[in-house]
Amino acid sequence: MPTKRDFLSVTDITPDETMALLKRARESKLLSKGENIPLAGKSVAILFDKPSLRTRVSFQVGIQELGGYSVFLGEQEVGLGRREPVSDVANVLSGYVDCIVARISNHNLISELAEHASVPVINALSDVEHPCQAMADLLTIYEHKDALEGLSLTFVGDGNNVARSLCLAAPAVGMNFTSASPQGYNLDEALLEKARSRANGSSVQVRTMTSPQEAVVGADVVYTDVWASMGQEAEAKARQTAFAGYTVNPELMRRANVGALFMHDMPAHYGEEVSPGMLEHPQSVAFPQAHNRLHAQKTIMEFLLSGI
């Protein structure tokens, strides 16, 4: 029996696999519903400890479209690591389902779940990474630019889980990555070095800055996210002060390359990381980006469960 694989980080797939999955996702969008059902007869447990719109709907719809069946388990049903040990939850679920999708705040709990589960575990979001979002982001850029290698992506905002996954994913497909954050909120050097090591033979630039105005010069993609993620509500006021001047607006977009895409993984906080109307800006692909969560995740599940 082949060794099971998990998707806890974008680094769990090779650069070549990353590009292959993006091409597969792009192609599979053209298939009619019911034409591709690799999850037929398979069940997937969905474990969430925080609210969700895009992640829950895209996974549940995706599982159904692939012919599978999902069982949703919220915080009250599982209480991962509190009501019972993570290892027990992993072993029990492994006897019921063919895959586990976990949106759990603590990345260590997802890692422990994967360690003890005998079925694939997918990280649907943790405090360390958001790999499914990064795959949907790359798919969106690929569709709109028809290429990834040689493009430059600038992330403006907090060096959070989304920024970390993008930083690790972009070099694997030949993209340059720049982040602009206030001092104390940027990505660490160890992560940047790990990202550079994933360049797959291409020459890419991975860097951090403090000035968003400088960071977006030469960018083909300008990306932002909330300043305070779920669980950081107590820091919201301090972060609003620290991130003053980091709002992505039409003026900032004009500093990027002509035709640059604007991206946001949503939900958006208007008047903070984005000015009102930015998601409807002519250069925005935020809604196609949200819709691509469905297609990227379907391909990830197909890869893990049927080995495409």
CATH code: domain of residue 116: 3.40.50.1370
* Sequential pLDDT tens for the chain (308 residues): 468 999 999 999 999 999 999 999 999 999 878 788 999 999 999 999 988 899 999 999 999 999 999 999 998 877 777 788 999 999 999 999 999 999 999 999 999 999 999 999 999 999 999 999 999 999 999 999 999 999 999 999 999 999 999 999 999 999 999 999 999 999 999 999 999 999 977 789 999 999 999 999 999 999 999 998 766 666 788 899 999 999 999 999 999 999 999 999 999 999 999 999 999 999 999 999 999 999 999 999 999 998 66
Helix ranges restricted to H, 102-188: 107-116, 131-145, 161-169
Strands (E), 212-284: 221-224, 261-264
Same-domain pairing of 50 and 79:
yes
Read off the pTM.
0.95
Question: Who contacts 197 (Cβ-Cβ below 8 Å, separation ≥6)?
Answer: none
Quote the number of domains for the chain: 2
Q: Do the bridges between strand 99-103 and strand 176-180 make them parallel or antiparallel, or are there none, so unpaired?
A: unpaired
Same-domain pairing of 155 and 297:
no
For residues 260 and 252, the answer to whether their CB atoms sit within 8 Å is no
Same-domain pairing of 278 and 160:
yes
Q: How far apart are the first and last CA of the chain?
A: 16
Helix ranges restricted to H, 117-217: 131-145, 161-169, 189-196, 212-215
Q: Using alpha carbons only, give the angle 280, 135, 139 rounded to the nearest 5 degrees.
A: 60
Domain containing 108 equals: 10-130+293-306
Same-domain pairing of 119 and 138:
no
